[in-house]
Amino acid sequence: MEANAHSPFFSSLAALCQQSFALQAVGDTPAAVTAPWCLTLLAMEIEGAQLQKLAEFLRECHWQVVAVDILAARPGCSVVRLQLDGDIAFDDARLALLELGQELGLELALQAGHTQRAPRLACFDMDSTLIQAEVIDELAKIAGVGDQVAEITLSAMRGELDFQQSFRKRMSLLKGFTEASLAEIAPRIPLMPGAQRLLLALRALGCKTAILSGGFTYFAHYLRDNHLAVDFVHANQLEFNGGALTGGVIDPIVDGARKALLLQQIASELELPLEQVIAVGDGANDLPMLSLGALGIAFHAKPKVRAEAPQAIDGFGLDAALYLFGLNDRQISALLGESAE
C-alpha cells in the first residue's frame, strides 16, 4: 500500500500500518521497489507504540515513507517493509537505527532499494552461523583441552594473537584426536534454525551458495553432503597421520582476509558483480566479506560485529534473511513447496 509523503502519515505510522494490515493480505505480491532505500522491521509482534516512535524518528530525519508492505504477520513473527526516500548517509543511519531498534525492541535493517532482490551468490560462515557450535571448541572439550583452547581464544580477542596464530596454537593442542571420533561428532552438531530453509530457498531462486569458514572442510563437507544445499566449500583442511590429527595445519588458513578474497574469486568465476552477492556471518573475521556485497548480514553476532556490519538479524532464524530479498511468507512457502497457512 502506497503512502503519500504529504499525507498526515508521519503523525501516525501506526495507523498507516494497521490500515495496510487490513487492506493488504500477506499473500499479495509486495509492491515493486522504486525508492532508493528500504527499511525492514522485524519483531515477534509489532506494536503501535513502537511504530509511533519510529515515525517520530523518521520525521526528525526528513525520511519519507513512500510505500508499506506487510511481509509476515503470524504468531511470533511480524515483518514490515518501508520504502524510504530522503538524504540518507548509510553508515550514520544504520548506527542510529541500531540504537533505536534496541530502544524499541525492534530489529531494523536498512538497505539500498536495489538490493531488495534475490542474490546470485550467497556466502556463509559455518560455525555459529550455519551450525549451533564452534567446532574447534567442541573438539577441544572432548580432547580435554577445552580450557587451554578457550584461553588462546581470549588472547586473540585481546589482540595478543591474530587469527592465524591462534588457529595454529589451538590445532597443536588437538594432536592425536582420531578421525573416528570426528565421524561420531559430525552428526551431533545441531544446525542453526532456518539454515535448511534458507539454503533450499536460495537454490530455488537460482542462487549459488558457498561456505567460507575458518572451521574445517571435514564438517563443511558433511553439511553439504547430508543437510544443506551448498555449491562451494572453502575451509581449513585437517592434517591426519595414521588416522589421527597431527596438530599441524595445511596452508592457506581461511581467515577474514581469505574469506573476502574467496568471495571475490567465486563471484569472478561465476561472472557476477558484487552487487549480486551477499554474505552472512557472526564473527569479527567475517567483517571483511560482510563489507563487500549487496548485503552483509551479521547473524546472532557480538555487539562489535553487529555495530560494524551493514545489516543484522538477531532474534530470528537464518531464513529471516529472505525478507531482506523482498519476499513475503506466501512467496517463501511457494518457493519451498510448503502449504501456505
User: Residue 127 catalytic?
Assistant: yes
- Catalytic choice (127, 282, 319, 329): 127
- Is 85 annotated as catalytic? no
Instruction: Give dist(CA 140, CA 138) in Å, integer.
Output: 5
Name residue, grid cell 506487510.
70
Cβ neighbors of 326 (< 8 A, separation 6 or more) are: 30, 33, 38, 71, 81, 116, 117
Its sign, for the CA torsion 270, 276, 282, 285, is positive
- Residue 102: which residues within 8 A CB-CB, separation 6 or more? none
CB 206 within 8 A of CB 120: yes
* Neighbouring residues of 246: CB distance < 8 A, sequence distance ≥ 6: 175, 239, 240
Q: 80 - beta bridge partners?
A: 41, 70
Active-site position among 69, 85, 91, 125: 125
Nearest alpha-carbon partner for 18 in 48, 58, 38, 42: 48
Catalytic residue ranges = 125, 127
